[in-house]
Amino acid sequence: MQIISIDELHSLLDELTEKDLILDVRSPAEFNEGHIEGAQNTDHEEVGSIADDLKKYKTVYVHCKMGGRAKIASETLTNSGLDNVVCVEKGGMHRWAEQGWPIAK
């Protein structure tokens, strides 16, 4: 499993296609407060239930607020047989907001 920073994810945004997914594994309440445009929300404790659906993507970028839940969710998905998971473990929405990058609501 590849591990990147939120800064690296931000730099990739223009290159992402419909075959890539940004998966926000924070709680629905956190997600509704603000998220990366186009991100899908599934709580980190529930990601195992959507593993089969995620196989259709070339790359799934998993992130959270700081990186801890992203790591747990990424490990769950990898253990479910996915090989397209990139864990955004270094930073998260906390740093995204700090940098003043666009936040969708």
Q: What residue segments make up the domains of the chain, in order of their start?
A: 2-98
Q: Which two tokens stand for residue 1?
A: 């499993």
List, for residues 5-18, the tens digit of each pLDDT value: 999 999 999 999 99
| Integer-rounded Cα radius of gyration of the chain | 12
| CA separation for the pair 29, 68 (Å, rounded) | 18
CATH annotation of 2-98 = 3.40.250.10
Q: Taking all residues of the chain, what is their mean pLDDT, rounded to a whole number? A: 97
| CA separation for the pair 85, 5 (Å, rounded) | 14
Contact assessment for residue 102 and residue 73, using Cβ atoms and an 8 Å cutoff: no
* β-pairing verdict for 85-90 and 20-24: unpaired
What residues pair up with 90 in beta bridges, in sequence order? 5
List, for residues 9-63, the tens digit of each pLDDT value: 999 999 999 999 999 999 999 999 999 999 999 999 999 999 999 999 999 999 9
